[in-house]
Chains A and B, each alone.
Chain A
């Protein structure tokens, strides 16, 4: 008596009641498919977050201008620029765990080239910007300290701006007009794709910080040194929390804030924000996986139910098989194989359905769905385990039948 024989008997038995077999499998099919889709969506979300963190620079702290207190009225965040290039220099030079601190300003501008124009974000930056953001040049030269010092009218284009203004020519060396000021294109940036919030990170141009302040921002600030934000890159392996603490202490000290005064700046840890997102997407996936496993459980109970029916229906067959020499364990394995086949078949269909569903969700909802072979294997194996677990009791009932009684049963 071997698996092959039992398998043949089981296939024959399942084919007799095709509809019943399929209905019995349904719970397993849905459960396995749901598990695969959920794990796929969860893994996809996680991979996306990880990739965003990597693209953004994994260990960044952003220092932004905070609220200022003017005679008791607290203005909102960023209403007034409270941090300066000198703060950035101090952070970079005085703190050990900091690799670089890039001061920048931001604005919205319209760029014109020939008969094409494009509205985009402009970033006024220093050479540190590229290091902090891990942003490589696709072509052209790098932004130098001299560009900032000499308020050069040079610009670096992001991929989106590039494709919109220069659909089919190399822009390096050409001139664009921003706010009626001609800028020479010094280089282009490699593509970064969407940010965690769904923004197009490539819809951007970079100009020297000084140039941006002087030529591009509507009203230059009173203090020429202030900036909108400082992006700080923490050394790999250093603690983000203690780095944040050090920056806070340094800035409070530099801004001469008393103990009772609030910070006039805000610290944001990007990786942390994203990890929070990741955690919430994980919780969601876990919740759905729990629902899916309930479905698997219900499917298992369905299999048990139908196997009990099957044993009752085939009592005479069992009696006959025992009379001609089937031992208890032969009968046990026959029905166990049948239950496992049922659940594995359901698992197989569920896997196919889950893969199709994942592809569908990826295609229509535009989510990234990541199918890991291990999750497919795991849910398939789990389906088999359910077959063994829920098939065992009916199979044991069958094996425990008395051949005399079983043969007489109608």
Chain B
């Protein structure tokens, strides 16, 4: 078996809020393989955001192990985590988070600033990624001159620019109307078909069902890990035996 993109073991995160300890995540173990398309669901306070922060290397676990792309990153200092984020993870946010004064191309280039990539290659790389999301002819538009869907596509291009091992999308369609949302999901679908691993956080079941596998969180634990029943399953993302699966494949969340 190839090295999994994400491997967590007994991941625990405890916050201290007003003198009280809050256990946001209480032992999550799972494996996400290369090329998987995973949706993370759960009500607010379920720990899914904490989980996303941890696997996005924005935060470090209180206890437990996290291997990203084969490397243990659970105890790395902040400086190294920044580099890991830069090289291995592409973030897509609900609010797009584009810098308003930079045009599409410059926004896409931004992660390259911190990657040590030769400056001569920046433009070419950014243009390639913009073309990949169908925005080649909009590269000199400012975010304010782009529609919401186009802005999110710029954000996706930015997430892709360093050819990361993993795309982390946090409610990527949350700020979009449903048609544009579908458009964005279409892009994720295509990227996944090209072999890119995607982890998507959402609270919409329709969106979650675009993925191959759904992880459900509640009260800081993974309560369900299921494969999505598809008419033409692509054979990706089988649940690893013995790891963190709280319920068998194919239950809950209704039939498609």
A347-366 vs B: 1/0 string, CB under 8 Å?
00000000000000000000
Does B59 lie within 8 Å of A324, measured CB to CB? no
Q: Which of A1, A323, A328 contacts B113 (CB 8 A)?
A: A1
Does A327 lie within 8 Å of B101, measured CB to CB? no
Contacting B at CB under 8 A, from A323-350, are 323-330
Contacting B at CB under 8 A, from A287-333, are 316-317, 320-330
Judged by a CB distance under 8 angstroms, whether A75 is at the interface is: no
A93-129 vs B: 1/0 string, CB under 8 Å?
0000000000000000000000000000000000000
Does B59 lie within 8 Å of A326, measured CB to CB? no
Judged by a CB distance under 8 angstroms, whether B149 is at the interface is: no
Judged by a CB distance under 8 angstroms, whether A279 is at the interface is: no
Judged by a CB distance under 8 angstroms, whether A16 is at the interface is: yes
Nearest A residue (CB) for B85? A325
Nearest B residue (CB) for A329? B79
The CA of A379 and the CA of B59, in the complex, are separated in Å by 45
Judged by a CB distance under 8 angstroms, whether B175 is at the interface is: no
Does B79 lie within 8 Å of A328, measured CB to CB? yes
Judged by a CB distance under 8 angstroms, whether B99 is at the interface is: yes
Does A404 lie within 8 Å of B83, measured CB to CB? no
The CA of A41 and the CA of B86, in the complex, are separated in Å by 55
Contacting A at CB under 8 A, from B47-85, are 53, 56, 58-59, 78-79, 82-83, 85
Does B53 lie within 8 Å of A404, measured CB to CB? yes
The CA of A316 and the CA of B102, in the complex, are separated in Å by 14
The CA of A403 and the CA of B91, in the complex, are separated in Å by 13
List residues of chain B with CB within 8 A of the CB of A12: 101-102
Does B97 lie within 8 Å of A320, measured CB to CB? yes
Judged by a CB distance under 8 angstroms, whether A407 is at the interface is: yes
Chain B: interface residue total (CB-CB under 8 A): 24
List residues of chain B with CB within 8 A of the CB of A5: 113
Does A325 lie within 8 Å of B58, measured CB to CB? no
B78-108 vs A: 1/0 string, CB under 8 Å?
1100110111000101000101011000000
List residues of chain A with CB within 8 A of the CB of B91: 323-324
List residues of chain B with CB within 8 A of the CB of A327: 78-79, 82-83, 114
Judged by a CB distance under 8 angstroms, whether B158 is at the interface is: yes
Judged by a CB distance under 8 angstroms, whether B147 is at the interface is: no
Judged by a CB distance under 8 angstroms, whether B35 is at the interface is: no
Does A324 lie within 8 Å of B101, measured CB to CB? no
List residues of chain A with CB within 8 A of the CB of B101: 12-13, 16
Judged by a CB distance under 8 angstroms, whether B33 is at the interface is: no
List residues of chain B with CB within 8 A of the CB of A13: 101
Known contacts A316-B97, A403-B58; A324 and B79 CB within 8 A of each other: no
Does A325 lie within 8 Å of B82, measured CB to CB? yes
Does A323 lie within 8 Å of B85, measured CB to CB? yes
Known contacts A327-B114, A404-B58, A404-B59; A320 and B85 CB within 8 A of each other: no
The CA of A1 and the CA of B79, in the complex, are separated in Å by 14
Contacting B at CB under 8 A, from A1-49, are 1, 5, 12-13, 16
Q: Which of A16, A330, A404, A407 contacts B97 (CB 8 A)?
A: A407
List residues of chain A with CB within 8 A of the CB of B158: 324
Nearest A residue (CB) for B158? A324
Q: Which of B53, B83, B110 contacts A321 (CB 8 A)?
A: B110
Known contacts A16-B101, A403-B58; A325 and B114 CB within 8 A of each other: yes
List residues of chain A with CB within 8 A of the CB of B59: 404
List residues of chain B with CB within 8 A of the CB of A16: 101
B220-231 vs A: 1/0 string, CB under 8 Å?
000000000000
Judged by a CB distance under 8 angstroms, whether B115 is at the interface is: yes
Contacting A at CB under 8 A, from B1-59, are 53, 56, 58-59
List residues of chain A with CB within 8 A of the CB of B93: 407
Q: Which of B53, B78, B86 contacts A324 (CB 8 A)?
A: B86
The CA of A407 and the CA of B168, in the complex, are separated in Å by 15
The CA of A330 and the CA of B116, in the complex, are separated in Å by 12
User: Which residue numbers of B lie inside 8 Å of A, CB to CB?
Assistant: 53, 56, 58-59, 78-79, 82-83, 85-87, 91, 93, 97, 99, 101-102, 110-111, 113-115, 158, 162
Please name 4 further chain A to chain B contacts, defined as beta carbons within 8 Å, in addition to the given A1-B114, A323-B85, A326-B114, sorted by A numbering: A325-B111, A325-B162, A328-B82, A407-B97
CB-CB nearest 4 A-B residue pairs:
A325-B86, A325-B114, A324-B111, A327-B82
